[in-house]
């Protein structure tokens, strides 16, 4: 789906053209009410027919507005029939209804069918007025020509408005597409392709403004030996599995990163050092008890974790150095364990 089509689908009746169509429907209903009131206040020979037609016209268009139905040819046919009936019964303000109907239909069909739409409305208007007229007096001809010219001007204006709104939608579609591409590129630049975790760049950005958190540095024990013994494909499988265990073992507010190579970093905002150590121990236990197989043989994988706490007065690099120091202590003490700085 193109960017413009996505904008159309997302906005639906929220775009400017559709809003104008709804507004003109409502104005049409209000105009028909004025026609009905005028017939009641100054009753002529067909005042009852005018009241009935105006009522139907008002109710029909108000219902369409309430349902937010998009203009269709059926609506054009019904409204033109009602407008012609009002014209034939001598209703005042009926010419306004033709103009409002034409505007919303041209906004619907656009430039390609605007001429045919204007011709259809004009023909019905002319036919109704000619049938109603007793004589072809100059005043009648001038008024008829004036309204037909008005139809043409209104159509041109509506087409221009339609084109401007289409250009606006295209522009918004292009902006939406650029935003989507930028978001995709940002995600690609900040995500590790193998594990799906955030990467080192994302770690630097997301920890820069955090004042307090617990940091866990996770390292897969003897990873180089694993690669040399079982191959890099098995090493990638281990990295992916450990990454999944980490993702599933942290809370929603926590952040997990593949810091580089076989090292992972976990940032736990608003967490005590004691709770951070418990989370680290749980992750260590889960990896140690996870089944890794190579050619049918089970391979034991373990991790070592260093834990530190970043305080508001400390620098994020200080917290990393402390966690890294604790990690190396865990390794010196025999690996497959957690150490706190």
Which position among 177, 262, 263, 322 bears the catalytic label? 262
Q: Are 328 and 219 in contact (CB under 8 A)?
A: no
Residue ranges of alpha helices (H) inside the chain are 3-11, 16-41, 47-67, 73-88, 94-109, 111-132, 138-189, 200-207, 223-230, 232-249, 273-288, 316-332
Measure the CA–CA gap between 323 and 215, rounded to whole angstroms. 7
Measure the CA–CA gap between 124 and 79, rounded to whole angstroms. 11
CA 175 from centroid of its chain's CA atoms: 12
Q: Which of 59, 35, 57 is nearest to 47 (CA)?
A: 35
Cβ neighbour number for residue 75 with a 10 Å cutoff? 19
Q: Positive or negative CA dihedral for 68, 148, 30, 50?
A: negative
Q: Are 273 and 309 in contact (CB under 8 A)?
A: yes
Q: Positive or negative CA dihedral for 179, 181, 186, 192?
A: positive
Could you tell me if residue 52 is left (phi over 0), alpha (psi between -120 and 50 degrees) or otherwise beta? alpha
262 is catalytic: yes
Q: Find the largest Cα–Cα distance for the chain.
A: 112
Measure the CA–CA gap between 72 and 319, rounded to whole angstroms. 66
Q: Are 151 and 98 in contact (CB under 8 A)?
A: yes
Q: Which of 47, 68, 55 is nearest to 29 (CA)?
A: 55
Measure the CA–CA gap between 131 and 218, rounded to whole angstroms. 90
Question: Looking at the annotation, which residues are catalytic?
Answer: 262
């Amino acid at each position: 789906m193109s960017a413009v089509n996505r904008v159309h689908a997302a906005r639906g009746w929220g775009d400017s053209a559709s809003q104008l169509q709804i507004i003109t429907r409502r104005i049409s209903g209000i105009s028909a009410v004025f026609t009905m009131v005028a017939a009641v206040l100054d009753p002529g020979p067909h005042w009852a027919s005018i009241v009935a037609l105006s009522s139907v016209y008002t109710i029909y268009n108000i219902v369409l507005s309430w349902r937010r139905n998009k203009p269709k040819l059926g609506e054009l046919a019904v409204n033109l029939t009602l407008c012609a009936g009002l014209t034939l019964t001598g209703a005042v303000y009926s010419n306004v209804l033709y103009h409002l109907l034409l505007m919303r239909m041209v906004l619907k069909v656009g430039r390609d069918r605007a001429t045919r739409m204007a011709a259809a409305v004009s023909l019905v208007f002319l036919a109704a007025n000619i049938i109603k007229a007793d004589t072809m007096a100059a005043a009648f001809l001038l008024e008829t020509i004036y309204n037909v010219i008005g139809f043409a001007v209104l159509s041109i204006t509506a087409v221009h408005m339609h084109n401007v709104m289409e250009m606006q939608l295209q522009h918004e579609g292009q902006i939406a597409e650029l935003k989507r591409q930028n978001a995709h590129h940002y995600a690609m630049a900040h995500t590790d392709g193998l594990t799906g975790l955030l990467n080192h760049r994302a770690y630097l950005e997301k920890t820069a403004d955090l004042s307090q958190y617990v940091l866990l540095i996770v390292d897969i024990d003897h990873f180089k030996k694993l690669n040399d013994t079982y191959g890099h494909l098995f090493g990638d499988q281990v990295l992916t599995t450990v990454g999944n265990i980490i993702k599933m073992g942290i809370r929603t507010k926590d952040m997990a990163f593949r810091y580089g190579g076989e090292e992972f970093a976990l940032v736990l905002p608003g967490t005590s050092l004691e709770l951070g150590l418990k989370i680290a121990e749980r992750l260590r236990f889960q990896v140690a008890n996870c089944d890794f197989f190579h050619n049918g043989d089970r391979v034991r994988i373990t991790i070592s974790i260093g834990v530190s706490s970043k305080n508001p007065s400390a620098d994020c690099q200080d917290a990393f150095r402390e966690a890294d120091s604790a990690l190396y202590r865990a390794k010196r003490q025999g690996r497959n364990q957690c150490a706190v700085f």
